[in-house]
Amino acid sequence: MSSVQAARTHLSPDQPSLPRVGLGRVLVRLTATMVGAAVVGQALVVARARPQDLITGASGMADILRRAFPPDLNNLPRALNGVLETFDIALLGTLAAIVLSLPLAVLAAENVTPSRAFYLAARGVIAVTRAVPDLIWALLFVTAVGLGPFPGVLALSVHSIGMLGRLLAENIEDIDMGPVQALTITGASPVQIVTHAILPGLLPSLIGISLYRLDENVRSSTVLGFVGAGGIGFLILTAMNLFQYRQVATLLILMYLLVMLVERLSAAIRNRIR
C-alpha cells in the first residue's frame, strides 16, 4: 500500500500516465454484453422456461413415481426380448457401418486417396451422414421400409458410416507411409496396398473406434423405438401410452443395465488393446 502511495506521489501531473482505454473498445464490450444478454433472454422466452412449473409439477412427478412402484415383472420375457432386440439393432448397425466406412475412409484420407474427385465425394458422404441424426434417419427408413427393428439397423449404420469414416480417415492420415511405398514398388495393386500395408497397422484403432461406436449405438437404439424402429424404446412408448408405469419402470431399469454393461465392456476391451 505504501508503495502504491509512493508511486502515486511520484507521478506528477506533467508526467505521462497510463494510456486510457479507447472509446471503441468500451463500445465493443458494451455491445457484446448486451447481445449476449439478448440471446439468453430470447432463449428463456422461446423455451417458455418457468421455474415455478418445477414446483407445481413436483406432485405430479411424485404421483408417477408412486404408480411406477414396485416395477412390474410379469412381462419380463417380453421386456428381455426388447433388450436383446435393442442390442442386436446396435450390433448389426455397427458391423454394417464398419464394412462400409472402411473403403470410404481410404478415399477420404488425403495421403492415400486415388484422386481429388474421390476425396471430395467421400468427404461429402461422410459430412451428410454424420450431420443428420440417427433418429431422423430412423424416421426416414421407417417411412421407406415400414415399422420394426430393420429400419433401426439401417438408421444406425448410415449415421455410423459418417462417424466411423471420419475417425478412420484421420487415423489413416497418421500412418507410416514407408510400408505403402515399399509395397507400391513390389507391383502391388492399390487394393492390395490397403489390405496388406494400411489395414494391419490400422487394426488396433479400428477395433477401439468400433467398440466405442457400438457403445454409442446401443445408447441410440434405446430411443429408436419412439419413431417405430423397434427395440426397447417401442415397448417403453407403448407402456407409457397405456399408463402402465410399473411396466415402464421395469423397462427403464433393464435399459440402464444394458447401457451400463455395454459401456463397461467396451471400455474394458479398449483398455486391453491399447
Partner 1 sequence: MTRILEIDGLTKDYPGGRRALDDVSLHVAPGELLVILGHNGSGKSTLLRCAVRLIDPTAGAVRVAGQDLARLSGTQLRDARRSVAMIFQAANLVRRRSALANVATGSLGRHHDLATAFGWLPREELLFAGTLLDRLGLLHLAHKRADTLSGGEAQRIAIARGLAQRPQVLLADEPVASLDPEAAEDVLVLLRNLATDDQLGVVCVLHQPELALRHAHRVIGLKRGRIMFDAPAVHVRSEAIAALYHSDDDG
State yes or no: residue 84 binds partner 1 (CB under 8 A).
no
CB of 125 to partner 1, least distance (A): 22
CB of 190 to partner 1, least distance (A): 9
Which residue of 140, 188, 252, 259 would you call a contact of partner 1, by CB under 8 A? Answer: 188
Assigned C-alpha cell, 160 = 455410423
CB of 201 to partner 1, least distance (A): 6
Which residue of 179, 219, 244, 269 would you call a contact of partner 1, by CB under 8 A? Answer: 179
State yes or no: residue 184 binds partner 1 (CB under 8 A).
yes
215-244: which residues touch partner 1 (CB under 8 A)? none
Annotate 3-60 with DSSP letters as a single string: HHHHHHHH--TTS--PPPPPHHHHHHHHHHHHHHHHHHHHHHHHTT--THHHHHHHHH
Burial of 21 (0-12, 13-18, 19+ CB in 10 A): exposed
190-219: which residues touch partner 1 (CB under 8 A)? 191-192, 195-197, 199-201, 203-204
State yes or no: residue 174 binds partner 1 (CB under 8 A).
no
| From 3-11, 44-52, 105-113, 177-185, span contacting partner 1 (CB under 8 A) | 177-185
State yes or no: residue 12 binds partner 1 (CB under 8 A).
no
CB of 133 to partner 1, least distance (A): 34
CB of 147 to partner 1, least distance (A): 36
State yes or no: residue 182 binds partner 1 (CB under 8 A).
yes
15-74: which residues touch partner 1 (CB under 8 A)? none
Say how many Å lie between the first and final Cα of the chain, rounded.
57
CB of 45 to partner 1, least distance (A): 58
Assigned C-alpha cell, 101 = 466406412
- Cα(245)–Cα(261) distance, integer angstroms: 24
Contacts 24+ apart (CB under 8 A), 189-194: 190/114, 193/112, 194/106, 194/112
Contact present, 85 and 255 (Cβ < 8 Å):
no
Contact present, 152 and 221 (Cβ < 8 Å):
yes
Q: Closest CB to partner 1 among 175 and 251?
A: 175
What backbone phi and psi angles, to 5 degrees, belong to 91?
A: -65, -50
Contacts with partner 1, residue ranges (CB under 8 A): 176, 178-179, 181-189, 191-192, 195-197, 199-201, 203-204
